[in-house]
Structure 1
Amino acid sequence: MAKPNIAPQPAGLDSRIYCDYARLVRLQSQINTFSLLPHLKAGSVLSGRHNSLFRGRGLNFEELRHYQMGDDIRNLDWKVTLRTGKPHVRSYTEEKDRNVIICVDQRSQMFFSSTQVMKSVVAAEIAAMCGWRVLKDGDRVGVVVASAEKVYHSKSQRSQHAYMAQLKVLASANQQLNVDSTNSGKVSFSLWLEQLKRMNLSQSTLVFITDWRDCEEQHLDLLKQFQMHNDVLAVMVNDPLEQTLPNELAKSNWVVGDGQYQLTLDSKDKIANASASLAERSQVARQSLTRLMALKSLPFIELDTSGSHISQFQRLVGRQ
């Protein structure tokens, strides 16, 4: 007798700080409100891009050949036919599916929030939803998880069982984060991209979900190379405190640091200078990613830690 399909049970974690495997599985119920496929309704951020949004199922031109009895006359190439004096038709092959790679950041800098939900939780939940949507559309999905210790990669498959195993890895990486977490030298943004480069991806969709804090100019150049042969969708997870600091902090004498240097925020001038630096850095990253997305007329999607990230993503990507 077959065993009943028992849904995973919640682990009792605070959902604002950590996401558990059961939560990532339950997010399957949220996927009917958005789509990563072409032919989205007008009004969606992703609509209006010629024939398709991402590379996906459709007809690819294969060859030009002489007309044969039974060929569809709608495929006649009239220019070639008139030039040669002999009927020619254009032959097409059908794409069977898409290969989607979801790259989700679970490194130490993602374990942060000044509002409701940790950036790491936002990234994990949006990644899970994207994967479930890809599977529903009958495509292959693989997940690349950058944790604080290593980068985990799983082969793209059209299998719910395989995807649930990937969600377990994602949940585990998320729950290993804490205030003492530090990144190993194996998980820099450079090494993350290099691992993807070794996969020799082509005609794939890559969804990056991160805060982009350590993305430098050379990394953007590599992402542009990815964009030439694939579709790269950038999702930024931001926290308000990473863009501007409240003046009230001057009364608290906060000490902030980057692991090497420290700064005491004990005056309004220091607060103002720090806020200006944060705002400039965020704006530069936002502009760079917007230009990268413009190469394929795709949107740059920005989410916050207010707890409404799911509805934000559904709205920005597009409802069905």
Structure 2
Amino acid sequence: MEDKAARIRTGTVTPIPPPGRADPRISVDLSHLRRLEAQAKRISFMPRQPSGSVLNGRHASRLRGRGLNFEELRDYLPSDDIRSIDWKVTARTGTPHVRVYTEERDRPTLIVVDQRMSMFFGSVLNMKSVTAAECAALAAFRIFDQGDRVGGIVFGDEMLAEIRPARSRHALTAFLTALADANGLLHADAPSVEPIAMNRVLESVARLAPRNHLVLIFSDFDIVDETTERLIAGLSRRNDLVLGLVSDPYSDDMPREQRIVVSDGTLQAEINTGDQQTHRSLREFAKGRLASILDWQRRFGIPVLPLSAAEDSVAQMRHLMGIAGARR
């Protein structure tokens, strides 16, 4: 039991495979995620973005990129930029001094992926959990290819795997393995449990990415509150934060005149969307969650990637990054 608990925490637990070949629209395995590497080449998370990218400064705050490391304090030379003069040291010593900085060789990236049961839903193409996993894998491959350190947090209803950022193929594989394992735990017969709260995950993010990280979060942000907002605001002040908001058109715009049976695995209930009050309540719930995320974008300058489970993951990621011809 202790060994299994340790493997769950480190993201190395292997789910029991379903009989037959898995449908990649419903679940993904490690080989499926690895096949996305070649398609991630043109996606970029560098500060310089195409004009049509949602990460461009015209749409949201610019990515700050790699930080600066303090190198030395030395005497001023005629070729130095006067903006680098340290005026306090100059006044104290009586001779001009400059501070010298070097750009960091790389920047750590933390990719956070939601694989809870709320993500196990899809009405057109993919489950939201599949879209989140594929987009996270595309980001991981591209960031690794850029030479930056990559790691992540993958969380399900009962598991949370942490992979510290590293510039190594081993760390990348560990992240993809944790992602595939968590996705494989999602199935229709999964027991009903109290899911890990988003706030607990964000606290782990703050611990692993204290400052100067690129943090990507792929989730449907099913339940958020004032604490979530406070944690998101703190992360955005100290890091480059990008939110991948995963949605499905069915839940965003609930159709009318349908009877839907919902279940938590133990109990079930029928919802009549033809009832005006019921339909209005469902729409207001969905719009309220979206409004909260968009409000964070406006107030904190956080770029939001609107990702739909109804579209191909590669095509929409390229489109959001402003790559011409990404959609046909």
For the criterion TM > 0.5, the same-fold answer is yes
Q: Residues 171-210 of structure 1: matches in 2 within 5 Å?
A: 171-182=180-191, 184-185=193-194, 187-199=196-208, 201-210=210-219
The AA in structure 1 aligned to 2:80 is I
Does 2:316 match 1:316?
no
What is the Cα deviation at residue 190 of structure 1? 2.4
What is the Cα-based RMSD across aligned positions, in Å?
A: 3.1
State whether residues 34 and 318 of structure 1, in contact with CA within 8 Å, keep that contact through their aligned partners in structure 2: no
What is the Cα deviation at residue 241 of structure 1? 1.7
Q: Residues 115-134 of structure 1: matches in 2 within 5 Å?
A: 115-134=124-143
* From 103, 112, 119, the counterpart of 2:121: 112
Aligned to 1:156, what secondary structure does the other structure show? strand
* From 144, 158, 162, the counterpart of 1:135: 144
Within 1, Cα distance between the matches of 2:69 and 2:240?
A: 17
Structure-1 residue corresponding to 2:12: none
State whether residues 38 and 54 of structure 1, in contact with CA within 8 Å, keep that contact through their aligned partners in structure 2: yes
Structure-2 residue corresponding to 1:221: 230
Structure-1 residue corresponding to 2:160: 151
**Please, which runs of 5 or more residues in structure 1 have no aligned partner?**
1-10
What is the Cα deviation at residue 205 of structure 1? 1.3
The AA in structure 1 aligned to 2:260 is W
Change (3 A) 1:195 1:65: same
What is the Cα deviation at residue 164 of structure 1? 1.2
The AA in structure 2 aligned to 1:130 is A
What is the Cα deviation at residue 187 of structure 1? 1.7
* From 92, 102, 108, the counterpart of 2:111: 102
State whether residues 35 and 318 of structure 1, in contact with CA within 8 Å, keep that contact through their aligned partners in structure 2: no
Aligned to 1:213, what secondary structure does the other structure show? coil
Q: Which moved more, 1:85-94 or 1:223-232?
A: 85-94
State whether residues 148 and 182 of structure 1, in contact with CA within 8 Å, keep that contact through their aligned partners in structure 2: no
Instruction: Give identity over the alignment, percent.
Output: 35
Structure-1 residue corresponding to 2:22: 13
Does 2:81 match 1:74?
yes
The AA in structure 2 aligned to 1:162 is A
4+ runs of 1 displaced by more than 6 Å?
Answer: 61-64, 258-262
Within 1, Cα distance between the matches of 2:205 and 2:138?
A: 21
Change (3 A) 1:39 1:247: same
Aligned to 2:65, what secondary structure does the other structure show? coil
The AA in structure 1 aligned to 2:53 is S
Within 1, Cα distance between the matches of 2:35 and 2:233?
A: 34
Within 2, Cα distance between the matches of 1:200 and 1:27?
A: 26
What is the Cα deviation at residue 312 of structure 1? 1.4
User: Aligned pairs, how many?
Assistant: 301
What is the Cα deviation at residue 209 of structure 1? 0.3
Structure-2 residue corresponding to 1:230: 239
With normalisation by structure 1, the TM-score equals: 0.82
The AA in structure 1 aligned to 2:225 is E
Change (3 A) 1:87 1:183: farther
Aligned to 2:28, what secondary structure does the other structure show? coil
